[in-house]
Structure 1
Amino acid sequence: MALSAAHVPAHVPVIAGAVPQAVWPLAATLGEGPVWAAHEGALWFVDIKAPAIHRFVPASGETATWPAPAQVGWVLPCADGTLLAGLQTGVHRFDPASGAFTLLCAPEAHLPGNRLNDATVAADGAVWLGSMDDAETDESGRIYRLDTDGCVDSGLQPVSITNGPAFSPDGHTLYHHDTLGRRIWASTVHDGRVTGTRLFAQIEAGAGYPDGPVVDAQGCLWVGLFAGWAVRRYDPTGKLIGVVPFPVANVTKIAFGGPDLRTAYATTATKGLTTAERAAQPLAGALFAFDPGVAGLPAHLARV
């Protein structure tokens, strides 16, 4: 099933030339968290439910996979050459050479039904990460800030499933999602403190659920739609200005990569699909690439 006209709001253009192509048909259960590591020329991402960490090198087509000891929501390159991984059990240092995971902090050790779900790195190297109720019912998901001084709650209102966050180019706007409420929020950030939360966009019923966000070099927000067959692009005012249709229903998140950051890589998922839906979507769970028509922002390295 391709994206139908019913999934695309009236007067919203399909982004010209943005035709997703599967570059790694790995059939991930819940592919997520793509991030471009420029120093490696590689894309890192995860399969939350497998659980596993994946690495893809576009120049050679090389792929690699490491099993994770618990559900893993994201992986982020660090300034010291290591990686951070957000597991259900907490934030870990991950060593690809040995496959070892070393626990750094467990912000929700008191909430065993929660897991870490998505994350980004601010310009100062601090990691902003979100959690969620793994059963997707309780409003126990929070957003935290992690740096060399430890992990603190951002103070944002808890929701069942957080997604994001993502930062504007100037670092002063934090985008974060209430996925089940289909709401995209924007908050003001100064010196690591969050204020002034406002509704940025509301995803209409029937169009899917806002999953991972990322911001491009023009300050526009790109949002994967789970059960929505698409990626959307919003301008900094919250106006929907473009859509990229996908041949699969569950699009989770994109990352800008390549030497010029002008290739978009998208993770997808088979989670929740019936046998008939899987048959109709043979590329569900694949890693896709497309031309977004705009450059992305370089990913900051975590300093934790």
Structure 2
Amino acid sequence: MTKPRVIPRGGQRDRLGEGLFWSAREGALYWTDILAPALNRLSLEDGAVTRWPMPDMIGWVIERAHAPGFIAGFRGGFAELTLDPLVITPITGPEPDLPGNRLNDAKADRHGRIWAGTMPIGADRPSGSLHRLDPDRTTGRVDTGYTVANGPAISPDGAWLYHTDTVPGRVYRFALDEAGVRDRELFIQFESGWGRPDGMTIDVDGGLWIAHWGGGRVSRFTPNGALDRSIALPASQITNVCFAGEAYDRMFVTSAADGAEAEPHAGALFELDPGIRGLPPHLFGG
């Protein structure tokens, strides 16, 4: 494995980089800066980075399968989003009864549904939940009691959905099928000294890659939940991880500068060689 590379961005650092998404149709990587707030785009063809200021906290974007643009997770809820010109069309707020919460991280599954977690803005109480957004725009809360709901990831066969509560260091696993999720179980408990689990992704062999907030690395866990290997990064607050490129053999990692301003690479976007391929992301079916 090669040494992690810092992506040149003219000195720009993300206060809270998150929400990585690889767009095969654009040949570009998207990610958010939740606290700026902003949406970033890296073209893998020429290395150009574009940044769009956003009107509110934005946790993630996921491409639409049958329409241009994205579904985005804003502080207040789900919205359609297109760029150049920027147009944001709200869909729904999943938690109108909890104005102190925000959407945080999400993934789509093979059925075109989005699984998205919420969290209190202060990360100070277990008021977060896991929600589902269907292609017909209906929503539902499917699990609750999270302080920082994070990092959904889906197994290559679509049979498992992994979801994290960052603060207690727990990675859960749900059985997943066309009807939804069921039978939550504890899959990985982070050990003392590892930091805390944040964003996640899956490789072709079912390995679960997890970003370590406060742990300065990403790690691969086997399909049985055993720690396989780790890759150190030159920043402590690692937030998200994503496979990209035509062969899905390039890995990109986000980080956060908020609270770690003294670290020279905090808030940087990193690229590393994972030594294995990932999978194409699923798109929203609506």
Q: Does 1:106 align with 2:93?
A: yes
Q: 2:254 maps to what in 1? A: 267
Output the CA distance in 1 between the equivalents of 2:3 and 2:271: 8
Aligned mate of 1:133, from 93, 103, 120: 120
8 Å Cα contact 1:142-1:153 kept in structure 2: no
Q: Does 1:40 align with 2:26?
A: yes
Aligned mate of 1:249, from 236, 242, 254: 236
Q: 2:153 maps to what in 1? A: 166
Deviation of the 1:146 alpha carbon: 0.7
Deviation of the 1:63 alpha carbon: 1.2
Q: Deviations for 1:255-298, whole angstroms, at most 9, x for unmatched residues?
A: 1001110000111111222xxxx33x211111110110000010
Output the CA distance in 2 between the equivalents of 1:232 and 1:18: 15
Q: Does 1:302 align with 2:277?
A: no
Q: How many matched pairs? A: 283
The equivalences for 1:26-37 within 5 A come to 26-37=12-23
Output the CA distance in 2 between the equivalents of 1:111 and 1:157: 13
Q: Does 1:191 align with 2:183?
A: no
Output the CA distance in 1 between the equivalents of 2:39 and 2:166: 23
Q: Deviations for 1:101-133, whole angstroms, at most 9, x for unmatched residues?
A: 110111112211000000001011111111001
Q: Does 1:51 align with 2:33?
A: no
Q: Deviations for 1:195-223, whole angstroms, at most 9, x for unmatched residues?
A: 12111111112321100011111101000
8 Å Cα contact 1:107-1:151 kept in structure 2: no
TM-score normalised according to structure 2 size: 0.96
| Range moving further from structure 2, 178-187 or 149-158 | 149-158
Q: Deviations for 1:59-100, whole angstroms, at most 9, x for unmatched residues?
A: 201111111111100011111121111000111111102112
Q: 1:6 maps to what in 2? A: none
Q: Deviations for 1:203-259, whole angstroms, at most 9, x for unmatched residues?
A: 112321100011111101000011110001000000000101001001101110011
8 Å Cα contact 1:83-1:94 kept in structure 2: yes
8 Å Cα contact 2:111-2:178 kept in structure 1: no
Output the CA distance in 2 between the equivalents of 1:160 and 1:96: 32
Q: Percent identity?
A: 37
TM-score normalised according to structure 1 size: 0.90
Q: 1:12 maps to what in 2? A: none
Q: 2:8 maps to what in 1? A: 24
Q: Which amino acid aligns with 1:46?
A: T
Output the CA distance in 2 between the equivalents of 1:24 and 1:151: 40
8 Å Cα contact 2:91-2:137 kept in structure 1: no
8 Å Cα contact 1:35-1:43 kept in structure 2: yes
Aligned mate of 2:166, from 162, 179, 185: 179
Q: Deviations for 1:139-167, whole angstroms, at most 9, x for unmatched residues?
A: 11111111133343343232111002110
Q: 2:275 maps to what in 1? A: 293
Q: Which amino acid aligns with 1:287?
A: L
